[in-house]
């Protein structure tokens, strides 16, 4: 834990109460859906509801004739009808009109939530009535609903731009794979099906747009990177970026699900259309829960085939894997997510010989995109389950197996480069081994019987218990040569004779999605400025005043924002010593460069920092009902330095429970390109009665040599190892390996009956 609390109140290492908490407990905090100006018009975004169809005709006149409807925005209103975070492959609006300066064909709907039109009216009810009145004719086209059918390339999702649905591929070849198999005494083979996951942030997408006093198209919403939103809006509207302003209200969760565009561009288009019509009123839009679940991307569904070779004494000799991610209808960030799955499928181990081929595949399904872990959960699930199966076959303690193969200081990674200095993997593994050794005694647990009508007994033979282990690593920050950066500006205020500033302003774009990033920025600023945190004012997430922070993703923001704050404070300190009042420092932090990988060998340095984690999970399985209870979790992390230990603990507990849903209960039904269960009554995220009985967070502060105060990142790491640890614990209890999940009671019962997992 924190070793040397610094002298200022609310400095680094203190569990200071986050500043936004006061408004959040009184109901005063306003999220995008709460901020509806009294004179606002209301917009409804019309989805095509067509997983694959050609638009034959669209007549907006019946909608415009509805009482209260002001106007309808269509593709004809989009100057550059395309967007996409890492490649432009998606029309903003489907329409028959030309696509402006875009080459993306816009007369075909490839996803049920492609946008067709924006209906703007005086009331939401009138906008909904107008949306229902649109006269639309579609010609259905043949569907590729999943990766298996898409790989045949009989129907192309993007025929004009991608000659194969398998549109993005990565490869790793390391060492001599044949020699690796020849040296192997044991080979583990598996085929794994990883499911979609819905983010289910409690705050559904909403926002308001207007033209501000300086004539900027202004969008106030929730997201993860104001400057990226601004870039995407400016591109589609064909405006210079400084003519667009993006502001974040209080954000109600994101988890990667708000990294991509939802309402940002359509709200900007609506505001611009109103301005063109001479109507100077703001426009507000909010999605329903159903629109949110249907209308934004998911954690990728994936199929992974893997082989793992090892000697009798547990040394890895070879790893082979084939990864297919279902990218859905548009790329979103699939090419980047694929990169993470690609690297993590080899595990956090020294692998002398490897062949890994990974592909992202277009389908007419919901797009896959960013979600806590960003490809890491899929890859690490396979890597860790393969290792746990290997331990079983060898009759070896799974933790001992890791000791013999784990990456350590100076190890060469799967991309044939040394890991960045500060490899904390051995320490987190040993932290777990101390607290919950694989063969150690289990803690007593209360009786468990999930169905009230059945009897409960402490020694009930139908209740079986098991323990599972998993370990891993996750990069901090953007990978593969992406231009990583983070900006901060700091003002020191005071009189000429003051030794230290009397107050400080910090300007930062970092998105406060709930994780506590603003609290961390304020604490780090206070610490380096040498003033109590109550004297630090934050000015956040408004492109008119805050610089480019990069996104709240990739477990990067504490690391990146902290380094930007350190740089800006150093500049402000120089100005302060030179007598400037206020003393202003601005800084753009750029971490060590990363590289795109060699297309054939995968060689290169993909990342500049990692966080390391290991987990032990104890479960009880009710073999009569198929229910699983997680009795205990030990989650050990090298976070480098805990800027605010309670908030770090919050990240660990929250990530564990989100992964708990992924592996046990969350089952998104996607059939023929349509999500069939877009409600929280049908898609079951964990409630307070479903979660692990005990989560013990073990926070190691080993320090990243280039992290601010030594900090790494923590947001994704506890998520990634949880599913394989649960699967291993269930195997320990039942003897059955489940190579697919969620482990719903019916799947567990079927697995117990058949000795293997069935598809749902």
Q: Which residues bind another protein (CB under 8 A)?
A: 15, 17-18, 20-31, 33-34, 36, 199-204, 250-253, 255, 288-289, 513-516, 646-647, 649-650, 653-658, 679-681, 685, 687-689, 691, 695
- Long-range Cβ pairs for the range 261-264 (8 Å, 24+): 261/83, 261/85, 261/229, 261/232, 262/205, 262/287, 262/295, 262/296, 263/45, 263/205, 263/206, 263/207, 263/219, 263/221, 263/287, 264/207, 264/219, 264/221, 264/223, 264/229, 264/232, 264/233
Query: Which CB atom, from 518 or from 556, has the smaller least distance to another protein?
Result: 518
Phi, psi dihedrals of residue 618, rounded to the nearest 5°: -105, 135
Minimum CB separation from another protein for residue 515, in Å?
A: 6
Query: Which CB atom, from 289 or from 465, has the smaller least distance to another protein?
Result: 289
What does the alpha-carbon distance between residue 207 and residue 185 come to, in Å, rounded to a whole number? 59
Contact (CB, 8 A) for 547 and 489 = yes
DSSP H helical ranges for 218-305: 226-237, 264-276, 289-295
Query: Which CB atom, from 574 or from 679, has the smaller least distance to another protein?
Result: 679
Minimum CB separation from another protein for residue 670, in Å?
A: 20
Query: Which CB atom, from 413 or from 718, has the smaller least distance to another protein?
Result: 718
Query: Which CB atom, from 244 or from 652, has the smaller least distance to another protein?
Result: 652
The two structure tokens encoding residue 243? 């003519």
Maximal C-alpha separation, the chain: 80
- The three-state secondary structure class of 745 is helix
Q: With CA atoms as reference, report the closest residue to 344 among 400, 414, 277.
A: 414
Helices (H) and strands (E) in the chain, counts: 18, 25
Query: Which CB atom, from 52 or from 627, has the smaller least distance to another protein?
Result: 627
Minimum CB separation from another protein for residue 203, in Å?
A: 5
Minimum CB separation from another protein for residue 36, in Å?
A: 8
Minimum CB separation from another protein for residue 25, in Å?
A: 4
Contact (CB, 8 A) for 399 and 467 = no
Contact (CB, 8 A) for 661 and 684 = yes
What does the alpha-carbon distance between residue 413 and residue 215 come to, in Å, rounded to a whole number? 51
Whether the bond between 86 and the residue before it is cis, its omega within 30 degrees of 0, is: no
Minimum CB separation from another protein for residue 326, in Å?
A: 23
Query: Which CB atom, from 254 or from 419, has the smaller least distance to another protein?
Result: 254
* Bridge partners of residue 730, in order along the sequence: none
Query: Which CB atom, from 25 or from 496, has the smaller least distance to another protein?
Result: 25
Minimum CB separation from another protein for residue 292, in Å?
A: 9
Distances (CA, A) of 359 to 320, 628, 707: 14, 34, 33
The two structure tokens encoding residue 484? 């990583």
Query: Which CB atom, from 522 or from 657, has the smaller least distance to another protein?
Result: 657
Query: Which CB atom, from 40 or from 603, has the smaller least distance to another protein?
Result: 40
Query: Which CB atom, from 446 or from 592, has the smaller least distance to another protein?
Result: 446
Contact (CB, 8 A) for 339 and 170 = yes
- The three-state secondary structure class of 171 is strand
Q: With CA atoms as reference, report the closest residue to 490 among 560, 364, 574.
A: 574
Q: Which helix (H) or strand (E) holds 689?
A: none
Minimum CB separation from another protein for residue 519, in Å?
A: 10
Phi, psi dihedrals of residue 544, rounded to the nearest 5°: -75, -25
Query: Which CB atom, from 31 or from 381, has the smaller least distance to another protein?
Result: 31
The two structure tokens encoding residue 674? 């349509």
* Bridge partners of residue 323, in order along the sequence: 304, 358
Q: With CA atoms as reference, report the closest residue to 289 among 252, 338, 323.
A: 252
CB neighbour burial string for 57-81, b if at least 16 within 10 angstroms, e if fewer: ebebeebbebebbbbbbbbebbbbb
What does the alpha-carbon distance between residue 226 and residue 510 come to, in Å, rounded to a whole number? 8
C-alpha 290: how far from its chain's center?
20
Query: Which CB atom, from 494 or from 650, has the smaller least distance to another protein?
Result: 650
Minimum CB separation from another protein for residue 695, in Å?
A: 6
What does the alpha-carbon distance between residue 231 and residue 550 come to, in Å, rounded to a whole number? 12
Contact (CB, 8 A) for 76 and 92 = no
What one-character-per-residue DSSP string does 294-331 give?
A: HHS-BBPPEEEEEEEEE-TTS-EEEEEEEEEEEEETS-
Torsion sign over Cα 182, 187, 191, 197 = negative
Contact (CB, 8 A) for 89 and 160 = no
Query: Which CB atom, from 603 or from 691, has the smaller least distance to another protein?
Result: 691
Query: Which CB atom, from 500 or from 679, has the smaller least distance to another protein?
Result: 679
Query: Which CB atom, from 715 or from 729, has the smaller least distance to another protein?
Result: 715
Query: Which CB atom, from 266 or from 647, has the smaller least distance to another protein?
Result: 647
Q: Which helix (H) or strand (E) holds 537?
A: strand 536-540
Torsion sign over Cα 260, 263, 268, 272 = positive
Distances (CA, A) of 447 to 228, 451, 461, 463: 51, 12, 12, 9
Torsion sign over Cα 640, 643, 649, 654 = negative
Query: Which CB atom, from 200 or from 490, has the smaller least distance to another protein?
Result: 200
What does the alpha-carbon distance between residue 246 and residue 218 come to, in Å, rounded to a whole number? 6
CB neighbour burial string for 164-192, b if at least 16 within 10 angstroms, e if fewer: ebbbbbbbbbbbebeebeebbeeebebeb
Minimum CB separation from another protein for residue 661, in Å?
A: 9
- The three-state secondary structure class of 22 is helix
């Amino acid at each position: 834990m924190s070793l040397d609390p610094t002298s200022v109140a609310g400095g680094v290492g203190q569990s200071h109460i986050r500043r936004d908490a006061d408004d959040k407990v009184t109901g005063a905090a306003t999220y995008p859906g709460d901020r509806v100006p009294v004179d606002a018009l209301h917009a409804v975004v019309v989805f095509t509801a067509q997983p694959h169809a050609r638009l034959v005709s669209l007549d907006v006149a019946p909608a415009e004739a509805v009482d209260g409807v002001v106007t309808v925005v269509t593709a004809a209103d989009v100057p550059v009808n395309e967007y996409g975070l890492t490649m432009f492959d998606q029309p903003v609006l489907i329409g028959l009109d030309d696509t402006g300066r875009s080459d993306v064909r816009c007369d075909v709907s490839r996803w049920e939530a492609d946008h067709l039109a924006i209906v703007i009216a005086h009331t939401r009810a009138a906008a909904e009535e107008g949306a229902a009145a649109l006269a639309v004719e579609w010609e259905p086209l043949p569907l590729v609903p999943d990766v298996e059918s898409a790989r045949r390339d009989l129907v192309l999702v993007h025929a004009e731009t991608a000659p194969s649905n398998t549109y993005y591929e990565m490869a790793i070849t390391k060492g001599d794979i044949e020699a690796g198999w020849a040296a192997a005494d044991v080979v583990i083979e598996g085929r794994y099906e990883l499911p979609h996951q819905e983010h289910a942030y409690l705050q559904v997408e909403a926002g308001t747009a207007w033209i501000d006093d300086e004539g900027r198209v202004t969008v106030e919403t929730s997201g993860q990177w104001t400057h990226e939103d601004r870039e995407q809006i400016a591109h589609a509207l064909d405006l210079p970026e400084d003519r667009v302003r993006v502001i974040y209200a209080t954000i109600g969760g994101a988890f990667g699900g708000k990294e991509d565009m939802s309402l940002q561009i359509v709200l900007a288009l609506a505001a611009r259309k109103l301005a063109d019509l001479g109507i100077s009123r703001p426009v507000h839009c909010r999605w329903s829960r159903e629109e949110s679940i249907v209308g934004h991307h998911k954690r990728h569904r994936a199929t992974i085939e893997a082989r793992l070779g090892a000697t009798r004494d547990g040394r890895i000799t070879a790893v082979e894997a084939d990864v297919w991610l279902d990218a859905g209808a548009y790329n979103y960030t699939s090419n980047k997510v694929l990169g993470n799955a690609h690297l993590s499928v080899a595990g956090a181990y020294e692998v002398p010989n490897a062949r890994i081929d990974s592909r992202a595949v277009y389908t007419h399904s919901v797009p896959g995109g960013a979600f806590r872990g960003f490809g890491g959960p899929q890859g690490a699930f396979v890597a860790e389950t393969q290792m746990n199966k290997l331990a079983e076959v060898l009759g070896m303690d799974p933790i001992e197996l890791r000791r013999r193969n784990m990456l350590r200081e100076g190890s060469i990674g799967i991309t044939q480069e040394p890991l960045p200095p500060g490899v904390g993997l051995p320490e987190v593994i040993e932290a777990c081994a101390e607290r919950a050794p694989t063969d150690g005694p289990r803690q007593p647990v209360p009786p468990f019987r999930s169905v009230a009508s059945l009897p409960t007994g402490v020694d009930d033979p139908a209740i079986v218990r098991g323990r599972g282990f998993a370990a891993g690593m996750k990069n901090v920050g953007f990978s593969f040569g992406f231009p990583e950066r983070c900006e901060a500006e700091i003002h020191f205020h005071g009189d000429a004779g003051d030794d230290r500033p009397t107050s400080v302003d910090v300007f930062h774009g970092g998105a406060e999605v709930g994780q506590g990033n603003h609290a961390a920025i304020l604490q780090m600023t206070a610490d380096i400025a040498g003033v109590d945190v109550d004297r630090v004012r934050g000015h956040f997430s408004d492109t008119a005043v805050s610089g480019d922070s990069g996104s709240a993703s990739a477990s990067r923001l504490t690391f990146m924002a902290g380094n930007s704050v350190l740089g800006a404070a150093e500049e402000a300190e120089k100005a302060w010593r030179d007598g400037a009042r206020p003393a202003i420092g601005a800084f753009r932090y750029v971490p060590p460069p990363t590289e795109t990988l060699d297309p054939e060998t995968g060689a290169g340095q993909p990342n500049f920092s990692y966080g390391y984690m290991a987990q032990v999970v104890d479960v009880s399985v009710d073999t009569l009902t198929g229910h699983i209870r997680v009795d205990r979790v030990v989650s050990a992390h090298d976070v480098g330095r805990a800027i605010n230990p309670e908030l770090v603990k919050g990240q660990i507990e929250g990530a564990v429970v989100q992964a708990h849903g992924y592996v046990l209960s969350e089952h998104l039904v996607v059939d023929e390109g349509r999500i069939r269960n877009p409600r929280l009554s049908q898609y079951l995220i964990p409630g307070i009665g479903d979660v692990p009985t005990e989560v013990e967070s073990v926070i190691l502060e080993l320090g990243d040599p280039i992290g601010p105060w030594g900090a790494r990142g923590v947001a994704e790491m506890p998520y990634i190892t949880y599913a394989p640890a649960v699967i291993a614990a269930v195997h320990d209890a039942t003897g059955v390996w489940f190579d697919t999940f969620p482990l719903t009671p019916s799947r567990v019962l079927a697995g117990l009956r058949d000795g293997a997992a069935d598809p749902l």
